[in-house]
Amino acid sequence: MRWQKGRRSDNVVFDSGGGGRRFGGGRGLGLGGIVILAILGLVFFKDPTALLSQVDDGSGTAAPASTPADPNDPQVDFVRAILGDTEDEWGQIFARQGRQYEQPQLTLFSGRVNTACGAATAAVGPFYCPGDRHVYLDLAFFQELQDRFHATGDFARAYVIAHEVGHHVQNLLGVFDMVDSARRQGTTLQGANGLSVRQELQADCLAGVWAHAAEQRNQWLDPGDLETALNAASQIGDDTLQRETRGEVMPDSFTHGTSAQRVKWFKAGFDGGDIGQCNTFAGPL
């Protein structure tokens, strides 16, 4: 992938000391924060209850603010190039719909970070916090992507970023509010047909829509690049992960969709390039 063609974003910062915003004005995590944290836990195949122990209890002083990321770091340069292109593409897509795209900030961190959704460690993986509209990424995850998930290649890493930006697009379009409203009315989040799976698969499709538009404009994919992204999507399907970690597949606990579904919806976005084809909330998956 010739990602060097991408415009560098100015919205990438580095948090070196667990910075970011503290939820609830320093009084710990309130009910609203728990709701957001539950959504956060679903963003990257993690059990939301496991994240509660990582939430700041509100004691101590606020952490220092984020600082500009080092532009000389090749990995940072890659992230800036991919994020910059998502900004350009989604800006144009929103403009065609008569809307204005609000660019998210992407915070790079090492080990631990505080967010409007609470504190989290690198174990959470890349995630999007709807509370502050930031994408969070520990660059060490790219090594885990290769070592644990056997997903290599620049386009596989770009897919990870585009998926989280897809959550930001969902937030701007009101999908997070819709899911939370349905949850409060008793609709199930988990499960093979649950809202979480549908939300995650839509983010995959939106990542594909970006990839389609980016390739049309940049022509930056080499032979085999698309397959690396599809492989990454396949490696982080619920069934594949559960088979690997538990030895059995439990559809009732699905949060992200099967490997086949993740590949299907990313490819649907990539092949069609139409956000209208990403309505995963209607019909079968």
Q: How many CB atoms lie within 10 A of CB 181?
A: 11
Q: What is the pLDDT of residue 5?
A: 92
Q: What is the pLDDT of residue 69?
A: 65
The 10s digit of each residue's pLDDT in 15-25 is 866 443 322 23
Separation between Cα atoms, residue 84 and residue 54, nearest integer Å = 31
Evaluate if residue 57 carries a pLDDT over 50: no
The 10s digit of each residue's pLDDT in 148-163 is 878 888 999 999 999 9
Evaluate if residue 26 carries a pLDDT over 50: no
Q: Note the residue count of the chain.
A: 285
Q: Above pLDDT 70, what percent of the chain?
A: 81
**Is this model's pTM higher than 0.85 or not?**
no
The 10s digit of each residue's pLDDT in 74-114 is 999 999 999 999 999 999 999 999 999 999 999 999 888 99
Q: What is the pLDDT of residue 63?
A: 38
Burial 142-178 (b: 16+ CB within 10 A, else e): beebeeebebebbbbbbbbbbbbbbbbbbbbbebbee
Q: How many CB atoms lie within 10 A of CB 117?
A: 31
Least confident span in 57-66, 138-147, 266-275: 57-66
